[in-house]
Amino acid sequence: MKINGEAEENQNEASKNRLPVYSDEAKNRMDNIYVADSEEKIAYLTFDDGPSSKITPQILEILERENIKATFFVLGSRVELLPDLVKQEYEAGHYIANHGYSHVYTSVYASPNSVFDEYNTTEKAIQNAIGNENYSSHIFRFPGGSEGGKYANVKNEAKGILEQNNICYINWNALTNDAVGKPTKESLVADLKSTANGKNRIVVLMHDTGTKQLTVDTLPEVIEYLRSEGYVFKNFYDIMY
């Protein structure tokens, strides 16, 4: 059910003034985000690699229309180019999380400390964009995911550095595969259905880079399907409080 008028305005005002809070309890909630301790089905929509001037505004429009708060894992280099879009995301009540600065693996994973450096540079860019030097996302998504691959050892060491600095990290357990090959609307929805099947808690991976018009076109169907399956939509403010 949509919240209209003054109630929606009050909700947005409250969201944009909330700062993520790191605590042992918040870390425990993040570590156990996929654990279904009740029958409630929860979907966290997440968008990586933005913002972009073409795609991000369209996604924001859809989310506003559907009264859904999502989580944007932004790149610092993109934040610096389009700070007003990040501020728009933040003021609409979406969670601004950290995806590093460059997304260039050889730079991000040059060393464990370079991961932390990219995180810090991106945090500063976010603070400048939203006009709040007290904002700390406390959440990082490793480019390419936190597990395995060529840079597995660097990632594992970086996890320790992040944890020592009150930073959680999160992957995903459902996705549309909008970044793979030459997808179609049908394939995106099919992949979302197959990867979400049987799960009461899902973190859905999508992207809002400038080439992802198909993501925009498919998003209403993704939302409709998840609602039909009984999911409610939340963002990471419901974890980091």
| Catalytic sites, residue numbers | 48, 207
Q: What residues have CB less than 8 Å from 144, skipping those under 6 apart?
A: 105, 151
Read off the tokens for 44.
């966290």
- Strand partners for 234: 44
Contact 98, 135 (CB under 8 A): no
Distance CA 221, CA 82 (A): 28
End-to-end CA distance of the chain: 24
Distance CA 175, CA 226 (A): 12
DSSP string, 7-72: HHHHHHHHHHT------HHHHHHHHTTT---SS-EEEEEEEES---TTHHHHHHHHHHHHT---EE
Distance CA 204, CA 172 (A): 6
The residue length of the chain stands at 241
Tokens 């042992």 appear where?
A: 24
Read off the tokens for 1.
């059910």
Distance CA 50, CA 82 (A): 9
Contact 235, 74 (CB under 8 A): no
